[in-house]
Structure 1
């Protein structure tokens, strides 16, 4: 059973898997994974006829994900996968039904960089489309992180990340013209770090 699930979904983010189980993206056709890495979150989409795109700043990673696409979905265009940064995506406005951005936004250098990345991602989502984001936050560990300035914090696990809180996410939801279609959910990993799931629909 484990091997069957892995074959169907890959090493998918569990909260993205939750959205698939709920049928949230059943009417989507085009998907972009922003910071796609080796493609862990796009196996299901490749195997189920979606038009799948991906960007990553690492050229070697993009070559690997092209190989994955060729293996799982030979008709999916290899030029859909591009070496690029989240804040400067080479795609037209309103190009995608769904943008996935898992464990990327917390690498923002500062507040301006976070804003640029998020606005760039939002730009390429169609009206009625979706953003699935997972990012580090201070929700639940507010007193255990050290402010390093410009939105970046030192976490108890020793890493330094750009962190958001609930107020930041709600403010951006309103500013972007989005709507939460799921409550904001946060996983606390033994008070060492927290990861928050932010699921929006573009109005």
Structure 2
């Protein structure tokens, strides 16, 4: 059973898996993974008839995900995977039904960079489309992180990340004219870091 699940879903983000189990994205057709890496979150989509795209600034990651796509979905065009940054997506407005943005936005250099990345991703979503985002936050560890830059913090685990909080996420939800299709959820990893799931639907 475990091997079968691994083949179908890969090493998928557990909270993205939760959305798939709920059937949230059943009516989506064009899916893009922003910062796709080697394609850990794309196994299910490649094997179930979605048109799958991916961008990553790492050329080696793009070569790897192209190979994965060729193996799992030979008819999915290789050209769907390109070297690019989240803040400069090479697509026209309203292109995708679902944008996956897992563990990417917290690499923003500052507030302006975060805003540019987020609005770039939002631009390419179709009306009615979904944004699934997982990103670092200070929710629950506010007194344990140290501000070292414009929105960038030193975490107790020794890493540095751009951190959001619930107020900020709700403000962006309103500014974008979006709606939450899932409550904001945060996982606290032994007070070393916190990861928040932010799920938006574009009106």
TM-score of the pair, normalised by structure 1: 1.00
**Separation in structure 1 between the aligned mates of residue 38 and residue 178 of structure 2, nearest angstrom:** 29
Alpha-carbon deviations, 1:112-137, whole Å to 9, x = none?
Answer: 00000000000000000000000000
Residue matched to 2:102: 102
**Separation in structure 2 between the aligned mates of residue 37 and residue 181 of structure 1, nearest angstrom:** 26
**Separation in structure 1 between the aligned mates of residue 175 and residue 99 of structure 2, nearest angstrom:** 18
Residue 182 of structure 1: SS of its match in structure 2?
strand
**Separation in structure 2 between the aligned mates of residue 61 and residue 181 of structure 1, nearest angstrom:** 30
- Structure 2: any 5+ residue segments left out of the alignment? none
Residue 69 of structure 2: SS of its match in structure 1?
helix
The answer to whether structure 1 residue 46 and structure 2 residue 46 are counterparts is: yes
The answer to whether structure 1 residue 9 and structure 2 residue 9 are counterparts is: yes
**Separation in structure 2 between the aligned mates of residue 178 and residue 36 of structure 1, nearest angstrom:** 24
Residue 148 of structure 2: SS of its match in structure 1?
strand
**Separation in structure 1 between the aligned mates of residue 105 and residue 16 of structure 2, nearest angstrom:** 16
Residue 46 of structure 2: SS of its match in structure 1?
helix
- Structure 1: any 5+ residue segments left out of the alignment? none
**Separation in structure 2 between the aligned mates of residue 178 and residue 7 of structure 1, nearest angstrom:** 34
Count residues in correspondence: 203
Residue 63 of structure 2: SS of its match in structure 1?
helix
Residue matched to 1:192: 192
**Alpha-carbon offset, residue 149 of structure 1:** 2.3
**Separation in structure 2 between the aligned mates of residue 37 and residue 176 of structure 1, nearest angstrom:** 27
Alpha-carbon deviations, 1:121-175, whole Å to 9, x = none?
Answer: 0000000000000000000000000011200000000000000000010000011
Alpha-carbon deviations, 1:156-201, whole Å to 9, x = none?
Answer: 0000000000001000001111100100000000000000000000
The answer to whether structure 1 residue 168 and structure 2 residue 168 are counterparts is: yes
**Separation in structure 2 between the aligned mates of residue 38 and residue 119 of structure 1, nearest angstrom:** 24
**RMSD over equivalenced CA pairs, Å:** 0.4
Instruction: Give matches, 1:34-183, under 5 Å.
Output: 34-183=34-183
**Separation in structure 2 between the aligned mates of residue 198 and residue 5 of structure 1, nearest angstrom:** 25
**Separation in structure 1 between the aligned mates of residue 115 and residue 56 of structure 2, nearest angstrom:** 18
**Separation in structure 1 between the aligned mates of residue 71 and residue 121 of structure 2, nearest angstrom:** 27
Q: Structure 1: which 4+ aligned runs deviate by more than 4 Å?
A: none
The answer to whether structure 1 residue 18 and structure 2 residue 18 are counterparts is: yes
